[in-house]
Chains A and B, each alone.
Chain A
Amino acid sequence: MNLLKIRAVSVSFGGLAALKKVDVDIRPGEIVGLIGPNGAGKTTLFNCLSGFQTIDEGTIHFQDETLHRLPPYRIAGLGLARTFQTSRVFKRMTVLDHVLLGRHRQQKAGLWGALTRPDWVRQEEEESRNRGLKILSFFEERLLPRIADFADSLSYANRRRLEIARALVSEPRLLLLDEPTAGMNPHESAGIAKLIKRIRDELKVTVFFIEHDMKVIMGVSDRIVVLDHGEKIAEGLPEEIRRNPDVIEAYLGRKHGA
């Protein structure tokens, strides 16, 4: 039973093909890594999955729902959460607001609820707050002491963590992480690797993530998918990928002729 079914997805910008007939399956409970040289189309694929990019050909199905024509907010509403390559936090909102906002999908209070504050709205807020604090505790003492701070006062690494926290509070089925360790030092990256495992093991969230840090990818992924120039050139277990000549050539370039 596939959680995510990507079939023959193709996207081109002008004349340039960014994705060419890409097929990927993600099963529930997996941690799947997505790698490839710069410009391979990884973020484009994520944009297609999350609805920010329309596809020219192919289909995407998420838990039997057709994804590829839905607007981004509907896709997020179905339980597919993502983080962005360039850490998109809400600069002038507090850490607590971020996790409260992340619960948007689960909450139902609208204008009337805001004005009249009946009991169920108060409970909803309280529950969201508790859930938010619980997720923040996943990050040890990095975010919890800072719940009243604006996001733009956080360090770069903490902002990336906050973005992940915001995605997690909505209890997604599938989490897309776009280069979660970008700009981090090895110690911080190792922390993210552990976090990804915890996300899958404790929160039961399936993870599909883009990474350039090979240690993290190899150490954490159940399976790895490799893109190059918009095509899937390899897929398999980390050890297989590590030894795959096509993958090596894609990263090192065609140094050895033909």
Chain B
Amino acid sequence: MTLYQFTPSRTTIKVWLPIVAAVALFPLLVNNEYILNTAVMAGIYIILTSSLNITNGYTGLFSFGHAAFYGIGAYTAAILSTRLGFPFLLTLPLAGLVAACFGAAIALPTLRLKGIFLALVTIGFQQITYLVIMNWMSLTRGPMGIPAIPPVSFFGFELSGNRQYFYLILVLNLAVLFLLSRIIDSRVGRTFVSIREDELAAQSVSINVFRAKVLSFVIATFFAGIAGAFFAHHARFVSADSFKLEETFLILTMLIVGGMGSFVGPIIGAVSLVILPELFRFLAEYRGVVYGLIMIAAILFRPEGVAGVPGIISPRGILSKPEKPKAVEEAAP
């Protein structure tokens, strides 16, 4: 089955509906705030991983700066709500837009670069963003972070308790995933995949590759910003430490393990890696080590992850004997 084409269509609604129903019913059976909090985090990471999938999975761009846009979204929501009193319904889209603007600003000068160079320049921006947030005291309060962010409220009704936030993130997830599926299953989405596969051939069918790459980047950063806004109102406190390079690596690990370039891959990756440390609570201290080992195992043994399109990271992922350079292959028996 070609999972990368697995976007909700009429027939597959039958598969999705029971899953969504089960997920919707689950919080009614659980009373533990901690478990529900984990579920909310899973929802946030699904959005983050799915949005990173747009650039890294579908378009084949190696962006290593995703957490910075997550952070920009979070800080935008935090600043707008604490200083200007904006409600969630405004901070959510504005956070997405601000993140997308930064995404465009960064994409324009850098998307000419490819491969490792693009990865490096996005890391550079990730670090610069972190440092600016940490130092721009008047805007972000630097290392102290922004506390007392108001909770989500709709027309006077304030959300409290993780169960209510869970339903909100569930609705948000459904909306985001629906929009992403429409984007992927369209002329725009086909353009992205063709760029990943063969940029030259894409140009030969009149695709403006550069513009498409920028669009891909802007879409991904928009949704990262949205996730950030939700995080801000849920956690009620933001600090730059949540948006460092490690966070990008975590999201990237989720994407790789779940599977790049497919629709369900990021969902699987996000849910598994958020739930995993909870299932093995005794490993809590070793969480970083476990994530690192999982990333290494994935690259060595199954770089397409659980449900990804094979070959995006490399054509050959299994442990293989060191290859002789091509010049001598003919001579070998």
Residues in chain B near residue A216, CB distance under 8 A = none
Stretch at the interface among B161-169, B197-205, B223-231: B197-205
Residues in chain B near residue A104, CB distance under 8 A = 187, 190-191, 205-207
Stretch at the interface among A12-20, A112-120, A247-255: A112-120
Distance (whole angstroms) from the CB of A73 to the closest CB of chain B: 5
User: Hey, what's the 0/1 contact readout for B195-219 against A, CB within 8 Å counting as 1?
Assistant: 0011011011111110000010001
Residues in chain B near residue A50, CB distance under 8 A = 204
A76 at the interface (CB under 8 A from B): yes
Given contacts A77-B206, A114-B187, contact A84 B200 (CB under 8 A): yes
Count the B residues whose beta carbon is within 8 Å of the partner chain — how many? 31
Question: Taking CB as reference atom, which chain B residue is nearest A77?
Answer: B206
User: Hey, what's the 0/1 contact readout for A160-204 against B, CB within 8 Å counting as 1?
Assistant: 000000110010000000000000000000000000000000000
Residues in chain B near residue A51, CB distance under 8 A = 203
Central interface residue in B5, B197, B209, B261, by most chain A CB within 10 Å: B197
Central interface residue in A100, A102, A114, A124, by most chain B CB within 10 Å: A114
Residues in chain A near residue B179, CB distance under 8 A = 115
Pairwise interchain contact B186-A114, C-beta atoms closer than 8 A: yes
A101 at the interface (CB under 8 A from B): yes
A91 at the interface (CB under 8 A from B): yes
User: Hey, what's the 0/1 contact readout for A50-79 against B, CB within 8 Å counting as 1?
Assistant: 111000000000000000000111101100
B311 at the interface (CB under 8 A from A): yes
Interface size class of A (residues with CB under 8 A): 35 or more
Pairwise interchain contact A73-B208, C-beta atoms closer than 8 A: yes
Pairwise interchain contact A92-B261, C-beta atoms closer than 8 A: yes
Pairwise interchain contact B203-A76, C-beta atoms closer than 8 A: yes
CA distance A166 to B15 in the complex (A): 33
Residues in chain A near residue B207, CB distance under 8 A = 73, 104
A109 at the interface (CB under 8 A from B): yes
Residues in chain A near residue B206, CB distance under 8 A = 73-74, 76-77, 104-105, 170
Residues in chain B near residue A111, CB distance under 8 A = 183, 188, 215, 219
Pairwise interchain contact B182-A115, C-beta atoms closer than 8 A: yes
**Contact pick for A72, options B188, B203, B219, CB 8 Å:** B203
Given contacts A104-B191, A109-B188, A115-B183, contact A93 B197 (CB under 8 A): yes
Residues in chain A near residue B191, CB distance under 8 A = 101, 104
Question: Taking CB as reference atom, which chain B residue is nearest A102?
Answer: B205
A206 at the interface (CB under 8 A from B): no
A89 at the interface (CB under 8 A from B): yes
Distance (whole angstroms) from the CB of A227 to the closest CB of chain B: 22
Pairwise interchain contact A105-B205, C-beta atoms closer than 8 A: yes
Residues in chain A near residue B209, CB distance under 8 A = 73
CA distance A76 to B200 in the complex (A): 12
Pairwise interchain contact B187-A113, C-beta atoms closer than 8 A: yes
Question: Taking CB as reference atom, which chain B residue is nearest A112?
Answer: B188
Distance (whole angstroms) from the CB of B261 to the closest CB of chain A: 7
B142 at the interface (CB under 8 A from A): no
B122 at the interface (CB under 8 A from A): no
Residues in chain A near residue B189, CB distance under 8 A = 114
A139 at the interface (CB under 8 A from B): no
Q: Which 5 A-B pairs have the closest CB atoms?
A: A114-B186, A76-B206, A90-B197, A88-B201, A77-B206
10 contacts between A and B (CB under 8 A): A73-B206, A77-B206, A81-B204, A84-B200, A94-B2, A97-B190, A100-B190, A101-B205, A105-B206, A111-B219
Given contacts A104-B207, A105-B205, 19 further A-B contacts (CB under 8 A): A52-B200, A73-B207, A73-B208, A76-B205, A76-B206, A81-B204, A88-B200, A88-B204, A90-B194, A92-B310, A97-B193, A101-B194, A104-B191, A104-B205, A111-B188, A114-B187, A148-B2, A167-B204, A170-B206
**Which residue numbers of A lie inside 8 Å of B, CB to CB?**
50-52, 71-74, 76-77, 81-82, 84, 88-94, 97, 100-102, 104-105, 107, 109-111, 113-115, 117, 121, 124-125, 148, 150, 166-167, 170
